[in-house]
Structure 1
Amino acid sequence: MSARHFDRTVVRAVRRAAEIPQAEVGAAVDAADSTVAGWELGSSVPDQEKLPGIARALRKPLDELFPRKGAPDLIDLRCDAGLYRYEVARFIGTKSDGPVAAAENGVRRLKEKYVPKLAAAYGVSEKALEQAQERSFGNVVEEDGDESVAAAEADEHPRALGEKISFLLEHSYPAGTVPGDGEIAEAVNRHAGAEVVTAKEVETLRTGAGDADGPGPVVLEGLAEFFGVERMYFEPDEAVARQVYQGIRVLLASRNGTIGRVRARGLGPEGLSPEVLSLLTDLQAEFEKQVGSTDDE
């Protein structure tokens, strides 16, 4: 384990310079202000799992505030995601953290089906997780230059219209509230003020079995209004599609508290344009509206 270095004097200096109360730092990591005072005095040190939260509270990058020497193993990746071991079972769908504990201790490797789930929870690529696992077993593995999920999956964004619709349905609605083809068709027709698409035609669009020329502008506008995005998302623009896909992944990771090592450079050299940022804001608002309506039921 290549634990991060906690320097109490640096933490205290950064906090005081930013005029951040100890209570605010403590609240960010579920600790009393007296506990934070103890960290700064050197009478105790925080768990490695709390360092990401402390860095966020002090508005400093994790690597800058708490540097690490050497490449991370599985324990390091989990701690960098701000997760205690007992919290990981829910991500891989097991009753206990036994599989993760065994892998972290170099006893038994993770089952293949757990790798993508754990990588997503930690905010790293599957390759980075597998490399970290090898280090947990005492093997020397060089660290790749970029471990971000966005960079690792930059070429997997949805391109076709059907893929984009399916992606929004999968990621923009809470479980149990995903709308059907009929509901989507009704919303599009309501927007158009006439019947311009049927449930069967929506299914055809969603599955990608439709006309190569695609639907007309009025249908695209109706779809955009229904999903709470701008019409440009459905246009065949590779650059826009890539940015939106990667941006949504960042939003999801942030919402789930697993932003981990997702980095800005994974969003492409040009960053996110104002138009795409606006689109992502609309998506987040739509998701929160759906969550709110579900909670009220």
Structure 2
Amino acid sequence: MPARKFDGQVLRRTRRARDLSQEALGRAEGVDVDQSTVAKWESGTFPEPERLPAIARALREPLDDLFPRDGLPDLADLRCDAGFAQRRTAALIGTKSYIPVSNAERGVRRLNPAYVTRLADAYGVTEEQLLAAQDRSFGVSPAPAVSAPPAPRTLAEKLQYLLETTFPGGRPTDAQIAAAVNAHAGVDVITPDAVEALRTGTPPPAEVLAGLAAGVVLEGLASFFGVTPLYFQSDEELERQVVDAISLLTLRGTSKDFALAARGGQGGLDPAMLAKISALVAEAQQKADPRS
């Protein structure tokens, strides 16, 4: 099946709309056929694909509008879109034979790298586009896009993410994490078992919950992993704190300082949270100075 769709009736209507005779269309540069051949096209005979660009130019119509493509181009499609018959590609690649191009178009043997550059220039495409078209000639589909994993939301997810990304050479034990948090707090506020509970999402002991509420455990964890304590807070809690802080800073005329501090926090906040903070800052600034 041809890669471009062809409709003889559309060709006829377009030619007549341009007040062009069949003979005149046939004489157009690059078309080069007699009147009877044009008549056959308008009756439904498909033209040689490499003539389609010249026909579109003669009718002053975009190629993709007059002959829409059915799918992405392979090597033969790129050649035809550039208006070259296969036999003419020998000169394009600087050889006596067009067989290297024919083999590549049929999925028999890939192009010599030197030919890739020459053909890309002749076809008016990038080398990347030519190589992608060659892959399609060989039946190779592009690799599917890999979507980014969802951002960690819960405390357990955030701890797991940091353990996987911050310590790729060897993860610290729960005991090591607990010791670091206690050292930062200057008092025992968490045990290895409690670290495991936080890491796995199971309810921690009451004293750890109290430490979390006071912020001392989160501050110790943030110090150990090298991130801002804001990283461990929920979006709702962080948003509430941001609103309160911006309200205060706006009264002092320093809301911009808070925005810069939030963006520069080590470890980085979730992009969605940063966007929300930026919106809150902008809203606060607008309220403080409606002219801004």
Shorter-chain TM-score range: 0.3 to 0.5
Which of these two proteins has the greater Rg computed from alpha carbons?
2
Greater RCO structure (CA 8 Å; 6+ sep):
1
TM-score by length of 1: 0.46
